[in-house]
């Protein structure tokens, strides 16, 4: 796995009542993904979509450049809590200084600036508020994962996605692994029964963690340099911020979410100041008895980057991978493939898909439900592991536990 530290990998390393009632029941099976067409040369795009980017730090500025590279977008406005970040990103993209916004409310001015679509690349805690405002304003939404850090936030994103569909708006969550052709082939064979009776799933999320400096007078210092991944309320714990790629791979292939979880977790980084757990072991159970074990760790111990999900059946085994070998071994449907540079290539495919769906008027928004299910699955996992007890999905949905946050002293 390349360790392009890794500028491109840093983000990934750390990277209401009626809706709650609806979410208590199992969601329908997810539509099978298909690889999006690669972006063509800029001169092929006669229509330019005016795009705004909220969140202009490392990941946000990087993905903004990919939107610009695509050729079908006019980078119209940027917004970040920090004015210097908005100015730095805006200058690199050629955004007029009058459309570089800052403070907690900067996203509102970006929405009002004349954009047609918005990419939301903020810490997960803020995504529900931002994406709801985007859809309410009648704009198309593209967002990072996880889409929320607690249950109320996840349900709010679900509501926003459903509203986007009713309005005919495009709503895409940027998961890269399911866009890869080799992963798509393996997932398809799993769904066709290539493994026989599915008996077990094992997923891994290993990375090197992120610095966790002392807290200051207010939350401002936690919003820089990915420090926020160390706070559960801001980042959805390490299982949600990083491991979610492997967990999403399992949900994507299976077409359903688990009904319960049990496990344990802990904080092992030296001198921690946030409450995010950097090691976890969670066992998920599905309605048909399928067992899914997830193992995650984010420590500075030279562990190699690893995001993959293995599927064990009575006749064969399979593997989906973020970067590396993917396969079906055994049985009658053998397959071997390789995915690489998924971080960049997957984002480019999603950006191309976003453009196509907007310009062609597609609003199926298949990634919304799976993204919400993935967030809920990670929330279920971190709650069960932190409480050291078995929890059901129904329980956390009924609890609707919101995570407290103090935004006092921040620029509004």
For β-strands 391-392 and 260-266, DSSP reports them as: antiparallel
Distances (CA, A) of 173 to 55, 355, 384: 15, 13, 26
Q: pTM here?
A: 0.90
Point out the domain boundary residue: 175, 203, 230: 175
Task: Kindly state whether residue 407 falls inside one of the protein's structural domains.
Answer: no
Of 30-39, 111-120, 296-305, 352-361, the range with the lowest mean pLDDT is 30-39
Each residue's pLDDT tens digit, 210-223: 999 999 999 999 99
348, 40 contact by CB (below 8 A): no
Q: Which helix (H) or strand (E) holds 67?
A: helix 58-70
Structure tokens at 41: 């040369």
Task: Kindly state whether residue 5 falls inside one of the protein's structural domains.
Answer: no
Q: Which of 164, 296, 329, 190 is nearest to 252 (CA)?
A: 190
Indicate left, alpha or beta for 298 from its phi (over 0: left) and psi (-120 to 50: alpha).
beta
Q: Which of 350, 352, 355, 324 is nearest to 337 (CA)?
A: 324
Same domain, 222 and 159: no
Q: Which of 52, 56, 101, 50 is nearest to 73 (CA)?
A: 50
Same domain, 232 and 377: yes
Q: How confident is the model at residue 303 (pLDDT cuts 50, 70, 90)?
A: confident
Question: CA-CA distance, 214 to 273, in Å (whole number)?
Answer: 6
Each residue's pLDDT tens digit, 329-360: 999 999 999 998 899 999 999 999 999 999 99
Distances (CA, A) of 314 to 194, 251, 311, 330: 10, 20, 10, 10
Of 6-20, 76-90, 335-349, 384-398, the range with the lowest mean pLDDT is 6-20
What is the pLDDT averaged over residues 271-291? Answer: 97
Q: How many folded domains does the chain comprise?
A: 2
Structure tokens at 343: 């971080």
Range of the domain at 145: 10-175
Point out the domain boundary residue: 175, 202, 222: 175
User: Bridge-partner residues for 313, per DSSP?
Assistant: 198
Distances (CA, A) of 308 to 65, 117, 177, 275, 323: 28, 32, 10, 25, 8
Task: Kindly state whether residue 156 falls inside one of the protein's structural domains.
Answer: yes
CA dihedral 207, 296, 251, 362 (to 10 degrees): -30
Average pLDDT of the chain, as a whole number: 91
Q: What integer pLDDT is reported at residue 45 of this predicted model? A: 84
The residue with greater pLDDT, 12 or 185, is 185
Task: Kindly state whether residue 367 falls inside one of the protein's structural domains.
Answer: no
Same domain, 169 and 182: no
Point out the domain boundary residue: 175, 202, 235: 175
Each residue's pLDDT tens digit, 133-157: 999 999 999 999 999 999 999 999 9
- What CATH number did the domain enclosing 101 receive? 3.40.50.720
């Amino acid at each position: 796995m390349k360790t392009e530290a890794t500028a491109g990998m840093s983000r990934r390393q750390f990277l209401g009542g009626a809706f709650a009632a609806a979410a208590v029941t199992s969601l329908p099976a997810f539509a099978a993904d298909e690889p999006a067409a690669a972006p063509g040369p800029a001169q092929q795009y006669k229509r330019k979509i005016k795009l705004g980017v909220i969140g202009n730090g490392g990941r946000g500025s990087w993905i903004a450049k990919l939107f610009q590279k695509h050729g079908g977008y006019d980078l119209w406005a940027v917004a970040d809590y920090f004015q210097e970040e908005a100015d730095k990103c805006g200058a690199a993209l050629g955004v007029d200084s009058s459309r570089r916004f800052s403070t907690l409310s900067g996203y509102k001015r970006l929405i009002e600036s004349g954009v047609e679509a918005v990419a939301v690349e903020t810490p997960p805690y803020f995504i529900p508020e931002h994406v709801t405002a985007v859809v309410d304003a009648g704009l198309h939404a593209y967002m990072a994962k996880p889409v929320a850090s607690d249950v109320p936030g996840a349900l709010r994103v679900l509501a926003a996605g459903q509203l986007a569909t009713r309005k005919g708006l495009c709503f895409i969550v940027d998961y890269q692994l399911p866009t890869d052709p080799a992963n798509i082939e393996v997932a398809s064979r799993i769904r066709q029964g290539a493994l026989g009776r599915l008996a077990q799933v094992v997923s891994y999320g290993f990375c090197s963690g992120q610095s966790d400096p002392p807290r200051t007078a207010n939350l401002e210092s936690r919003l820089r340099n990915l420090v926020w991944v160390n706070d559960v309320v801001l980042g959805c714990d390490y299982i949600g911020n990083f491991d979610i790629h492997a967990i999403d791979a399992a949900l994507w292939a299976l077409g359903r979410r688990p009904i319960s979880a049990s496990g344990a977790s802990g904080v092992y980084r030296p001198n921690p100041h946030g409450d995010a757990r950097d090691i976890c072991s969670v066992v998920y159970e599905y309605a048909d008895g399928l067992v899914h074990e997830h193992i995650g760790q984010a420590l500075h111990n030279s562990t190699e980057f690893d995001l993959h999900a293995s599927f064990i059946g009575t006749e064969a085994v399979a593997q989906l991978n973020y970067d590396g070998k993917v396969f079906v071994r055994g049985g009658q449907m053998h397959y071997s493939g390789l995915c690489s540079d998924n971080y960049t290539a997957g984002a480019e495919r999603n950006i191309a898909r976003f453009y196509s769906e907007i310009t062609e008027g597609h609003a199926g928004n298949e990634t919304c439900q799976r993204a919400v299910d993935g967030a809920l699955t990670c929330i279920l996992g971190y709650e069960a592991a932190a409480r050291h007890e078995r929890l059901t999905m129904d329980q956390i949905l009924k609890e609707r536990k919101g995570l407290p946050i103090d935004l006092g002293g921040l620029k509004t």
